[in-house]
Every structure is written in C-alpha cells, then in structure tokens.
Amino acid sequence: MSDLVVEGLHASVAGREILRGVDLRVGGGEVHALMGPNGSGKSTLSHVLAGRPGYEVTAGSVRLDGVELLGLPAWERAQAGLFLALQYPIEVPGVSVYDALGESMEAAGRERGRVRELVGAEARRIGLDEALLTRALNVDLSGGERKRNEILQLAVLQPKVAVLDEIDSGLDIDALTAVARRVAQLAAESGTGVLAITHYQRLLSELAADKVHVLSAGRVVQTGGPELALELERTGYAAYGGEQEEPGEPAVARRPRPLV
Ligand code: ADP
Ligand code: MG
C-alpha cells in the first residue's frame, strides 16, 4: 500500500509564508478530509504538493512511498503517482481529454490504445455527456462539467494519491453523490489514498472519510474522525481562529465562484 507523508512543510508565496509546518500522512485506500477557514492555505498546500511553480518551499518534506517529491517538476510527481484535481480546472485549448490521458497513460507504461474505451466508460459512470469529451480540455464546459471531468481523469489514471480541491463546488446534489461514490470506490478498490479539501459534511459522508483535519493559518491544528466534520458544521471555525461560516449551508445554495 502506498503512503504520502508530509512533514514540517513550510511554503511562501509572493514573499508571504502561507504554510507554517504542515504534517499529514495519507495511506493507500484511506480517505482524509482537509477542512479549514478561507485563506488558511488549503489550495496552497495542494499546489505545493503538486509542484506548481511560484511557491517557495522553505522547509519540510513530501514523500510518496519514500520518494521525495519536493524539487521534482510537476510531471515527475504525477508520474510518481500524485494526482491533483484543481479547485478551478483550467482550460487547455487544442488538447482533448483523450490526448491528455493518452499521454499520461503512455508515460505510466500503460496501453494508450484503451484510452477511448476507458474514458467512455467513466463518462457514463459519472454522468458526463460523451459529446463534451471531443472538445478541448475544459473549454466551454460548465463548472460542474469541469469537476466531473477532473474525476473522470482521476478514475482513468488511478493514481496512488489524489488531492481533490473543493471537488464539490459547482456540483448539484446528484452530481456530488455520483462523484463522491466514484472516489470512494477508487479508494476501496484501487487503493488510491484521497485527501479531499472541502467545506461540506455531505461530501464527507458520501466519501466515507476516515479522518478529518483542520488547517488553520498554515498548520494542521486538529485531527479527528468524521464526527469532527459534523461538529464544524455546527460551530464553524471560530474555535480555530477563522471566520464564522454559515452553518449547514448546502453546496448547492452557494453562488458558484468564477472559474479562472
Ligand atoms: P484556502 O484554499 O484555504 O482558502 P489559499 O491557499 O487559496 O487558501 O490561500 C491562502 C493565502 O495565500 C491567502 O491569503 C491568499 O490570498 C494567499 N495566496 C494564495 N496564492 C497566492 C498567490 N499566487 N499570490 C499571492 N497570495 C496568494
Ligand atoms: Mg482554496
């Protein structure tokens, strides 16, 4: 079973320290949730793990099955088995999902010729219109379609570890259920370790999260079981130095945030 180990991770962006000593461990087949107030550094953590340029790591380590990922370019981290579903999936003009996944499968030593069959099967499974698949990646897709597209890529690639940044935002309840079930199944059947960043207990119960962590001001300040997410839904993040969020507000009631 694979193992992602983050130790004492410090990182700055634009000269400001955002991550101030993150410790986390996600084993194969486990589903962990990462919650925390807006601006606490959740997306920054996902970008630093994936190796997005522009973030300066000043201390710590990120190892996947003993391999140090820090210092590797993003594509080598992906090849090592790390997958990131972006909070705001980007448009990639000129590249279809078949092209992107075909290249990734080939790089992983898998049979590229099966990409259409696998993508088609996953699209049906999570309710993504197959007509959208021939378009350039995410171009003219709605927010919800982009999120489903991210999960489709995850399911085809079956990485060792998947970091999902607010995969629930922009999804209606039926899509959320379909997506969460597919992710839970990947964890159970393919041994993918999952770190799901979310504000919503609903996603966590569908995902059957084993552990819940609270990130505040760039550190994991609390770790617990699923009951912690229920408590946070009642109390908000006031106890962790964050803003009080509206308790129990369902994902569907939120205005979708603009996609960048
Ligand atoms: P979260 O995902 O927990 O809401 P983020 O990781 O997106 O939080 O942001 C944490 C902090 O880092 C915020 O104060 C944000 O403004 C800042 N930040 C993130 N990315 C950048 C960037 N590229 N340039 C400057 N500041 C950034
Ligand atoms: Mg974020």
**Ordered structural domains, the chain, with CATH:** 3-240 (3.40.50.300)
Residue in 43, 216, 220 to alter for ligand 1 test, most ligand atoms within 8 A of Cβ: 43
* Ligand 2 midpoint to CA 191 (Å): 26
* Ligand 1 midpoint to CA 158 (Å): 28
* Ligand 1 midpoint to CA 113 (Å): 40
pLDDT of residue 26: 98
Nearest to 170 by CA among 49, 86, 52: 86
pLDDT in tens, 161-189: 999 999 988 888 888 999 999 999 999 99
Q: Looking at the predicted structure, is the pLDDT value of residue 80 above 50?
A: yes
pLDDT in tens, 201-226: 888 889 989 999 999 999 999 999 99
What is the spatial distance between Cα 154 and Cα 157, in angstroms, rounded to a whole number? 5
Closest listed ligand to the CA of 53: 1
Q: Looking at the predicted structure, is the pLDDT value of residue 11 above 50?
A: yes
CB within 8 Å of 256: residues ≥ 6 apart? 143, 169, 170
Is the CA virtual torsion 75, 121, 33, 203 positive or negative? positive
Closest listed ligand to the CA of 14: 1
pTM: 0.90
CB within 8 Å of 192: residues ≥ 6 apart? 28, 29, 154, 158, 159, 160, 161, 162, 186
Residue nearest to atom 21 of ligand 1 (CA): 13
Q: What are phi and psi of 237, to 5 degrees?
A: -100, 15
* Ligand 1 midpoint to CA 251 (Å): 21
DSSP H or E segment with residue 61: strand 55-64
Closest listed ligand to the CA of 167: 2
* Ligand 2 midpoint to CA 115 (Å): 31
